[in-house]
With several copies, the nearest count.
Chain A
């Protein structure tokens, strides 16, 4: 009854001036409907019955009739769309249902991060992924089984990257997803201070604190069906032409319990991930020392930080030296002020140029005959991104070129 008049500016003469809001229009009671269900009526049959028993349906405009029908179908005859997983569908599904698990990283922001960091085949991309693995997976998708994405972490507990499993990658692609502590990446770069760092990292406090962090970002609650486009097509009319994977409680649930059970990494670096003949399909093995050494030699080709709730400013200054000169980077955060401070510090330290803070803005439109307009509800916040290019400052010329 709250239909907006001007949503049907067609030339039909019917309008809702004669409709009164007295809740007596539907003569079918909920008991009647329950009875139909017990007798095995299909959802579509119930919807037809509801329409037949509505005293106002005939008086409604065509658009109102359609809306009524869709509403009832949603309730009594829900449908599910099956879809091949990709970064867009995974990102959209989480964003809609479990935004906190991906740090509310909106799809357009994710796209920007990938472009700004020049991710492509043969890239070696360093990521600080505190968005559950969505970023790591999206990078790996672009690598297509070449290069590497290295998910780094401060402290001893890995950042959970369970969402990577949602991508259903081949083992070839999975083998390109590795993890390494920031300390390991540094130890090998600076052989002199390894023992010091090891000592620091073993303290109990650090371990406990990263635990808290991990929990706050990926809650233990199990996930339910991700029905992103639930009423679009019938399960029965599943297109058989492509391999689909359902987002459901099973697939998502199977990764959930592991969130907190990632073993603290060992000092032993024998768990290497070699090129493509790896037996295990699981992504995120510890980076081999050969790999880490090669990054020391060549530098990472870019950096993406998606740690939405963390003060990232000083971390960026620590991570930038791991990048090769002229490598681009992109830092995603929920707060503007820390990024501004970080940008100012990078300007002052002459570590980077082409610095820019930007904010993605996204709007979806309904395009229908005579009813075209932007969606009435929108996501008003896609985070802030600091992007730039690491340069070869005079200081690093000295230390790195020799």
Chain B
């Protein structure tokens, strides 16, 4: 995914190697993470793909199955990982993740605490933000979940940026070793207010905390507790609205008569100068998708007050 060795970043030269994790892209809503292994196969409804055919190709290549079907092989990113990971819990998605990372002011070198780890959807983005010199310590009270998350991070080559531990943060608080050395804390807990006193002890002065909660009662109680030793308490909700496009077919009949649904007259002189835009634009319809995620959770941020 990313590493402290800059030569390992994706580039024109970087080709798929035995042992690489690739994202197999069928469609926008159908992707899988696969560990490339010489001799293995990948199978989907379009046929059987040999891993050996993939090795040596650049990321982003189109590869074919025995039946002529194809998929694209993509370089893994935290955004793609969020779309392919196993949902062991509700996960955070792009809109919340991107907002949290920026609002927590996480930059390379930061030390970040997270609880719970959940399915690790946010964790990889936290790791990208602290790399190459920072570290993410993530805690989950569910042993199986923590173990599976750890496996995922290793598979993505992120073990040098992320440490997963089993710990009940609501009950026990964060470990004392982090007292006063942490830049940011992220909480995704059923009773976040229980963890706030510990989080306050861990943070550096002016450090930023975020608590993610689906229910407003959790927010109300957290905000009440936060006002004790935090400032700048603000609560947000972020969502993404998706749009779909299709080739337009709306036309009006002549003579004021009935309206016709005409098929699109396709004019495909796609020059690189963009000269055909006017014709094109009129025939591309765009509208919001009908269904959407209506709510994920409330994001409450606060800064540790300086003493």
A residues adjacent to B (C-beta < 8 A) = 2, 4-9, 15-17, 20-21, 84, 86-88, 99, 104, 107-108, 110-112, 114-116, 118, 120-123, 138, 141-147, 154-155, 157, 182-183, 200-201, 206, 209-210, 212-213, 216, 229, 232, 239-242, 297-299, 301, 307, 309-311, 313-315, 317-318, 324-328, 334-341, 343-345, 348-349, 353-365, 367-381, 384, 389-394, 397, 400-401
B252: which of A17, A86, A315, A356 is its contact (CB, 8 Å)?
Answer: A315
Which of B32-40, B42-50, B101-109, B149-157 forms contacts with chain A? B101-109
Beyond the given A313-B277, A334-B287, A389-B74, please list 20 additional residue pairs across the A-B interface where CB-CB is below 8 A: A2-B88, A5-B190, A15-B141, A21-B144, A88-B103, A99-B290, A118-B77, A121-B128, A240-B306, A311-B259, A315-B252, A324-B14, A324-B59, A325-B61, A338-B250, A354-B25, A359-B242, A363-B236, A381-B289, A392-B61
Inter-subunit contact A154/B257 (CB<8 Å): yes
Cα(A184)–Cα(B260), bound, Å? 20
Does B53 touch A at the CB level, under 8 Å?
A: no
Inter-subunit contact A297/B13 (CB<8 Å): yes
Interface centre among B58, B231, B298 (most CB of A within 10 A): B58
B interface residues, how many (CB within 8 angstroms):
121
Contact A88/B28 with A147-B6, A201-B257, A363-B294 known, Cβ cut-off 8 Å: no
Contacts of A309 in B (CB 8 A): 250, 261
Contacts of A365 in B (CB 8 A): 219, 235-237, 298
Contacts of A389 in B (CB 8 A): 25, 60, 74
Interface centre among A104, A240, A338, A341 (most CB of B within 10 A): A341
Cα(A309)–Cα(B259), bound, Å? 10
Inter-subunit contact A373/B238 (CB<8 Å): no
A360: which of B60, B103, B191, B238 is its contact (CB, 8 Å)?
Answer: B238
A5: which of B72, B107, B116 is its contact (CB, 8 Å)?
Answer: B116
Inter-subunit contact A384/B240 (CB<8 Å): no
Inter-subunit contact A301/B10 (CB<8 Å): yes
A108: which of B99, B189, B247 is its contact (CB, 8 Å)?
Answer: B99
Inter-subunit contact A86/B258 (CB<8 Å): no
Does B78 touch A at the CB level, under 8 Å?
A: yes
Chain B nearest CB from A187 CB (Å) reads 12
Contacts of B260 in A (CB 8 A): 209, 213
Inter-subunit contact B258/A155 (CB<8 Å): yes
Q: List 27 A-B contacts (CB under 8 A).
A: A6-B214, A9-B215, A9-B217, A17-B143, A111-B99, A115-B78, A121-B132, A122-B132, A144-B133, A206-B253, A240-B306, A297-B11, A311-B259, A314-B277, A324-B58, A325-B58, A326-B73, A326-B75, A345-B270, A348-B270, A354-B28, A358-B242, A359-B240, A361-B239, A362-B238, A364-B236, A393-B62
